[in-house]
Amino acid sequence: MTPLIIDTDPGVDDAFALAVACLAPEVELLAVTSVHGNVPVEQTTENARRLLGTFGRPDVPVGRGADRPLVHLLDGRADDVHGGDGLGGRSLDFGPPVDESPLRAVALMASVLEQATEPVTIAAIGPYTNVATLLSARPDLEERIGRFVLMGGSIGYGGNVTAAAEFNVWGDPEAARRVLAGSVVPTTLVPLDLTMRITLSADWLDDLARESPIGAALSSTREAYLAAYSARFGTPAIAVHDAVAVLEAIRPGSARTMPMPVDVDTSSGPGRGATIGDMRGAEAVVLGRPVDVALDADATFVRAELRRRLCAKRS
């Protein structure tokens, strides 16, 4: 079993990711923590609670997390892509919501790590504010984290919120720099370079909706998301970034990785939030520890694996 914490800002693609984790028989989902991001944290927390209710996981505690980045306030959200409620206007169709934990996100993560008998994987699929705060507040727990799997960044693809920055890193560049460049935890980064290549067509989503009630619920959130991505791709399809990352968290090796140091631009200029991966190889003189960056995968396998898992029944 893979002990897992998911830190998330649901989000349409976060919903797919949470479903994959909730249904995975090889995963012990220990906690879900919410963070500001696609929509404000009040809504991301509500969404996480409703999604876990729909996926039949009242046993998983949900801890409310940071409502803003570490340093600078956000000047935008992603409600134009995810809908005003983060779930394509369908959040009230999910549920009933599970209870919210009395512990806030960082305290909940710390409690889980303190009680863990083996290293815990943390999959962060929103801005990394909670994770950076945990590392700073409780450095004694770092050795209890087996692996970070982070959805975010872009090495060569370019940004999706600015010309340089991917949304999760742009949402808190200082936190991203703390986690990517300032931690000793083994880390896999799943950037846009990979996730923008693994798209799900409208027909794929229609088939998913016919195959399972959870698939139908997930597919129902797609209207605004599909419109935004169809305009970008020129064809009716969506990218489910966070589901690709969570699949790698629970089935290591789903993506093919390249080790490289990664840093984050925390300046106030046009590059703010850019992830900089040093791909010069062993001969380069670099600072910082290497991060495993997922740059390739068998897209057909990933799509098939996502469908298989999303149509599975929890035992």
Which of 86-90, 153-157, 263-267 bottoms out in mean pLDDT, i.e. has the lowest? 86-90
- What pLDDT band is residue 242 in, cutting at 50, 70 and 90? very high
- Residue 282 is predicted with a pLDDT of 61
User: Amino acid identity of 106?
Assistant: V
- What pLDDT shows up at residue 76? 75
Give every CB contact of residue 285 below 8 A, 6+ residues apart in sequence: none
283 has pLDDT over 90: no
Residue pLDDT, tens place only, 172-201: 999 999 999 989 999 999 999 999 999 999
What distance lies between CA 304 and its chain's CA centroid? 20
Backbone phi, psi, residue 286, to 5°: -130, 160
- From CA 161, how far away is CA 139, in angstroms rounded? 32
Mean pLDDT estimate for the chain: 94
Q: What pLDDT is attached to residue 77?
A: 77
CA distance from start to end of the chain? 14
Strand order in the sheet with 2-8: 62-63, 27-34, 2-8, 120-124, 145-151, 187-190, 290-297, 255-264, 275-277
Q: Based on the residue annotation, tell me whether 241 is a catalytic residue of this protein.
A: yes
In the set 36, 72, 82, 241, the catalytic residue is: 241
Q: Using the predicted structure, report yes or no on whether residue 301 has a pLDDT greater than 70.
A: yes
Helix (H, G, I), strand (E, B) or coil at 292: strand
Kindly tell me if the per-residue pLDDT of 92 is higher than 90: no
Instruction: Report the C-alpha gap between 9 and 231 in whole angstroms.
Output: 23
Which tens digits make up the pLDDT trace of 122-176? 999 999 999 999 999 999 999 999 999 999 999 999 999 999 999 999 999 999 9
How do 2-8 and 120-124 pair as beta strands?
parallel
Weakest mean pLDDT among 40-49, 69-78, 203-212, 224-233: 69-78
Q: How far apart are CA 57 and CA 45, in angstroms?
A: 15
What tens digit of pLDDT does each residue of 13-69 get? 999 999 999 999 999 999 999 999 999 999 999 999 999 999 999 999 999 999 999
Q: What distance in Å separates the CA atoms of residue 173 and residue 251, rounded to the nearest whole number?
A: 28
Asked if 154 and 194 count as a contact pair (C-beta separation under 8 A), the reply is no
The Cα angle at residue 81 between residues 225 and 191, in degrees rounded to 5: 85
Task: Determine the pLDDT at residue 200.
Answer: 96
**Verdict on whether the full-model pTM lies above 0.85:** yes
- Judged against a pLDDT cut of 90, whether residue 93 lies above it is answered with no
**CB neighbour burial string for 28-58, b if at least 16 within 10 angstroms, e if fewer:** ebbbbbbbbbbbbbebbbbbbbbbbbbbebe
pLDDT on residue 82? 84
- The pLDDT score that the predictor gives to residue 313 is 75
290 φ/ψ sector (left φ>0, alpha ψ -120 to 50, else beta): beta
pLDDT at residue 2 greater than cutoff 80: yes
Residue 310 contacts by C-beta under 8 Å, 6 or more apart in sequence? 16, 19, 20, 23, 208, 212, 214, 215, 218
